[in-house]
Amino acid sequence: LDALHRVGAVPIINENDTVAVDELRFGDNDLIAALTANLVQADLLALLSSVDGLIREGQVVDFVQAVGEEAFGLVQKSRSALGVGGMQAKLQAIYLATQAGVDAVLANGRKRSVLDRVILAGERMGTVFAGSRNRMAARRGWIAMAVRPAGQLVVDAGAARALVSGGKSLLPSGLTDVIGHFERDAVVAVADADGRELARGQVNYSSQEIARIKGRKSNEIAAILGEKPADEVIHRNNLIVTAG
């Protein structure tokens, strides 16, 4: 994308439903747009639809500071042509983008010159959603918003505390189980013994390798696997805490 931008090209990104692999399917162009907006650190995500914006009591909501329960509650009451499901998908995409620090706007694509009027002229059309001031780095944002983790790592109570409260890397000693099949560099979920997701991260080892080193100390990895690419199963720089 950066290379295309440098040569002045405007990429058109769309999921090809006929060749997409189910396990890797996004299933929603709004979600792809949100992920791409974060990846390129965009200033604005514009979602165009057949609705005028987020509606409250028949009126368009001009501005939303933070997407939360109130906004999703308005969608539940929506009687738009998109239906509740369609509006929820758009609002979820907007939530992900704004959490990554990207401003967003939801407007009616049937209105003439809507993008020029909203972006260039600053005209009040649709609903504007403020991006969080704590913008994630693109790489970390992509990890956090991974649509479908390739697998799951289960950790003990000590590792759970270290990840959530201590900002630590995930070491093999804290692992109790590995679920699913994945290769090195895959994005996986990290959960506690009760199955509650704590974090997501990019692994340094495959699922087969992790199954062999789980519960062991980092200084034992080379003896078990014959090599040691890293001390950590997931380095803290590639790990995002998702538990509230």
pLDDT of 71: 86
Contact in structure between 64 and 72 (CB atoms under 8 Å)? no
Residues in Cβ contact with 14 at an 8 Å cutoff, skipping those fewer than 6 apart? 29, 32
- Ordered structural domains, the chain, with CATH: 2-141 (3.40.1160.10), 149-241 (2.30.130.10)
241 vs 117: CA distance, rounded Å:
38
Structure tokens given for 132: 């969080």
The angle that helices 29-39 and 83-99 make with each other, rounded to 10 degrees, is 10
Contact in structure between 160 and 154 (CB atoms under 8 Å)? no
pLDDT of 32: 87
pTM tops 0.85? no
47-70 pLDDT, tens per residue?
Answer: 999 889 998 888 999 999 988 888
Contact in structure between 198 and 160 (CB atoms under 8 Å)? yes
Q: How many helices (H) and strands (E) does the chain have?
A: 9, 11
3-35 pLDDT, tens per residue?
Answer: 888 899 989 988 776 555 555 555 578 888 988
Strand, helix or coil for residue 137: coil
pLDDT of 20: 54
Q: Using the CB atoms, write b or e for 30-58: b if 16+ within 10 Å.
A: bbbbbbbbbbeebebbbbbbebbbbbeee
pLDDT of 25: 52
Contact in structure between 99 and 134 (CB atoms under 8 Å)? no
Burial degree of 110 (CB within 10 A; 0-12, 13-18, 19+): exposed
**Would you report the helix, strand and coil content of the chain in percent, each value rounded to 5?**
35, 20, 45
Report residues of the chain scoring pLDDT below 50.
none
Widest pairwise Cα distance in the chain: 67
pLDDT of 145: 66
